[in-house]
């Protein structure tokens, strides 16, 4: 696992993205891009809501990637359900839509928001959809063509899998993790 602290400054969000990208070197590019986007959302929340420095930790175990962002704030992260007219409130919804799993944990240092991405589980879960995919999967397969077949499949399905998030917003109930309003 690699971990690093980042300061309470808007410039650190990009640094957090680059840190995650470096920690995931060798992973399929589409997966890295999704991880960068999600950590950007969580780091931005630390600055906007907690108003504090934060720590980003990245771990890889087999096919599972886990990224955790910890800040000392006591606010409750809330998945909101903005209408198309609401400018804000999409950070955690993006994490919810693109991650394999995510959650919030109370830790000694404050609260930790984490997400996971899985390459192999993705391949199994999405196998039936792979053949009909006409989305980004096609491009991904070209980029991954030199990899072993298993990696190739994982890469294609990694791109396909994010389509899971395509449910229309009105069908998605408001999800409050601990019942309290967002900070």
Pairing of strands 175-176, 64-71: unpaired
In this complex, which beta carbon is closest to another protein, that of residue 52 or of residue 108? 52
CB of 43 or CB of 121, closer to another protein: 43
The site for another protein (CB under 8 A) is made up of: 10-11, 13-14, 17, 30, 33-34, 36-37, 40-41, 44, 47-48, 84-88, 90-91, 93-94, 97-98, 135-136, 139, 159, 162-163, 165-166, 168-170
CB of 108 to another protein, least distance (A): 27
Q: Beta strands of 25-152 (E only): which ranges?
A: 54-61, 64-71, 78-79, 101-107, 110-118
Residues 49, 71: Cα–Cα separation, whole Å: 10
Query: Least distance to another protein from the beta carbon of 31, Å?
Result: 11
CB nearer to another protein: pick between 31 and 112: 31
Least distance in Å: CB of 60 to another protein?
21
Task: Return the DSSP state at 145.
Answer: T
Of 177, 180, 141, 183, nearest in space to 158 by CA: 141
Which CB sits closer to another protein, 51 or 107? 51
Size of the chain in residues: 183
State the minimum distance, in angstroms, from the CB of residue 9 to another protein: 8
Distance of CA 137 to the CA centre of its chain: 19
């Amino acid at each position: 696992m690699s971990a690093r602290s980042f300061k309470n400054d808007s410039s650190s969000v990009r640094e957090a993205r680059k840190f995650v990208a470096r920690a995931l070197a060798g992973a399929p590019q589409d997966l890295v891009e999704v991880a960068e986007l999600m950590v950007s959302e969580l780091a931005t929340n630390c600055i906007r809501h907690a108003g504090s420095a934060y720590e980003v930790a990245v771990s890889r175990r087999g096919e599972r990637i886990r990224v955790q962002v910890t800040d000392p704030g006591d606010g409750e992260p809330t998945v909101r359900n903005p209408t198309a007219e609401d400018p804000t409130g999409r950070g955690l919804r993006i994490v919810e839509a693109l991650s394999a799993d995510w959650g919030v944990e109370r830790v000694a240092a404050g609260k930790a928001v984490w997400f996971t991405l899985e390459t192999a589980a993705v391949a199994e879960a999405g196998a039936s959809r792979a053949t009909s995919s006409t989305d980004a999967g096609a491009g991904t397969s070209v980029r991954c063509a030199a990899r072993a077949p298993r990696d190739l499949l994982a890469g294609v399905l990694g791109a396909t899998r994010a389509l899971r998030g395509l449910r229309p917003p009105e069908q998605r109930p408001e999800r409050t993790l601990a019942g309290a309003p967002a900070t």
